[in-house]
Structure 1
Amino acid sequence: MRSYKGLLLVIAFLLLLLAVVEFSGLREHFNLRFMHQIIVEHQLGGLLIFVLLFCLGNLIHVPGLVFLAAAVLALGRLWGGVATYIAASVSCILTYFTIRFIGGDALRELKNPYAIRVLAQLDRHPVKSIALLRTLFQTAPTLNYVLSLSGVHFYQYLLGTLLGLPLPITLYCVFFDYLGKTLHLN
């Protein structure tokens, strides 16, 4: 049971955070319309709120594409992409430290052969593996949780994150910009 203590603490944290967000009414603000409005109406303060909502949203498993779409529709392809890259990076950093603080390197304590094999692969090429995972899954909250609990060093996590995010963010920026223009949303 000791090997599951960190995982159970992380699950308890997530459930508590979800309950707080739900009962406080914050959940209503995790939508494209609200984020677009806050960015357009309050340029600097709106961007700060955008980053904070991205961080909280990532912790409670709100997909990052919602934030990316709002930023691109409000700020355009270039600045929406820059804002999203910054918010995504800050969110991943916050998630790493929060989840690592709560759960430590709980995945290292599991005696599952599959987990051991996956972690060994991550250990062989941590930055390259994280960059590839970020390219494929961007800021997927589950990925953030797993990497945070994997025992990977912060500098490896950060470097892999910073290297892996630009390509998918750029591609999604082009897509959402095109979609916004086609549907006359921006």
Structure 2
Amino acid sequence: MKPTETAPVASSHSRWRWLAVLAFVALLWAAVEVTGLRQQISLQAVREGFDHHRVWGMVAFTAMFVLANLVHIPGGFFLAAAVLALGPVWGALTTYVAACIACTVTFVVVRALGADALRELDNRLARRLFARLDAHPVRSVVMLRTVFHSVPALNYTLALSGVKLRDYVIGTLLGLPLPILVITALFDTLAVWMGWATH
């Protein structure tokens, strides 16, 4: 009798977790649009921030990266802006630090709202994926980061997957350098060809 009684409770908890996450994203997105912050997240704004003051530019850059990640705005242009403003070396390092912070903040916020809601999925594929994630959490996060970089959807998914914060952070720290280096090299070459580079 106990399994039949606890199943609806678990389902109800899962439903409220999903609603909390969706409500948070919707409200934050609306706030960003209404206040005009959406227009401030741009290549020009990032470059001007670094031009005015490197330290405060870094703070603003990181804050915009965090906000963009939370509202599912792809962060690729942050790397482009940093490379254009600071050059490939400092641009890549700055993006790496900001991306690690943004991914971690997103994880903590989404985990607080949705806990491990994805664990409520009861199908063969989900069980197989979670078994692999549980067996090699750090390696799994590293591989995902190498392919998907700091994509917001990945951060949300991992936050709701039940993976430990420690494993998530280590995997993020180890997984982000390679894609950042590759994208930086490609974009820096393109910037030189197109005459965009100012460094």
Structure 1 residue 116 corresponds to structure 2 residue 127? yes
What SS is found at the alignment partner of 2:108? helix
Pair 1:10-2:4 in alignment? no
Aligned length: 186
- Corresponding residue for residue 161 of structure 2: 150
How big is the shift at 1:8? 1.6
Q: What is the alpha-carbon distance in structure 1 between the residues aligned to residue 76 and residue 93 of structure 2?
A: 14
Residue correspondence of structure 1 range 1-186 to structure 2 within 5 A: 1-2=11-12, 3-186=14-197
Please identify runs of 4+ aligned residues in structure 1 that moved more than 6 A: none
The letter for the 2-side match of 1:39 is F
Q: What CA distance in whole angstroms lies between the structure 2 residues aligned with 1:98 and 1:115?
A: 23
CA distance in 1, matches of 2:187, 2:44: 14
Structure 1's 15 and 52: CA in aligned 2 closer, same or farther, altered over 3 A? same
- Work out whether residues 73 and 176 of structure 1, in 8 Å CA contact, stay in contact via their aligned partners in 2: no
Cα offset for 1:71? Answer: 0.4
| Range with bigger deviation, 117-126 or 155-164 | 117-126
**Structure 1 counterpart of 2:53, one-letter code:** H
- Between the aligned partners of 1:118 and 1:4, the Cα distance in structure 2 is 21
CA distance in 2 between partners of 1:32 and 1:180 (Å):
14
Aligned to 1:152, the other structure's residue is in SS state coil
Which sits farther off after the overlay, 156-165 or 37-46? 37-46
- Deviation for aligned residue 1:177: 1.2
Gaps of at least 5 residues in structure 2 are 1-10
Write the deviation string for residues 126-182 of structure 1: whole angstroms up to 9, x where unpaired: 110100000000000000000001110011001110110000000111111112211
**Gapped regions of structure 1 (runs ≥ 5):** none
Question: Equivalents in 1 of 2:134, 2:15: separation in Å?
Answer: 21
SS in 2 for 1:139: coil
Moved more, 97-106 or 31-40: 31-40
CA RMSD of aligned residues (A): 1.0
Identity %: 47
- Amino acid in structure 2 at the alignment position of 1:48: V
Aligned-pair CA distance for 1:116: 2.1
Task: Using the TM superposition, give the Cα deviation of residue 117 of structure 1 relative to its aligned residue in structure 2, in angstroms.
Answer: 2.0
Per the TM alignment, residue 25 of structure 1 is displaced from its structure 2 partner at its CA by: 0.2
**TM-score in terms of structure 2 length:** 0.90
Q: What is the rounded CA distance, in whole Å, between the counterparts of 1:182 and 1:147 in structure 2?
A: 38
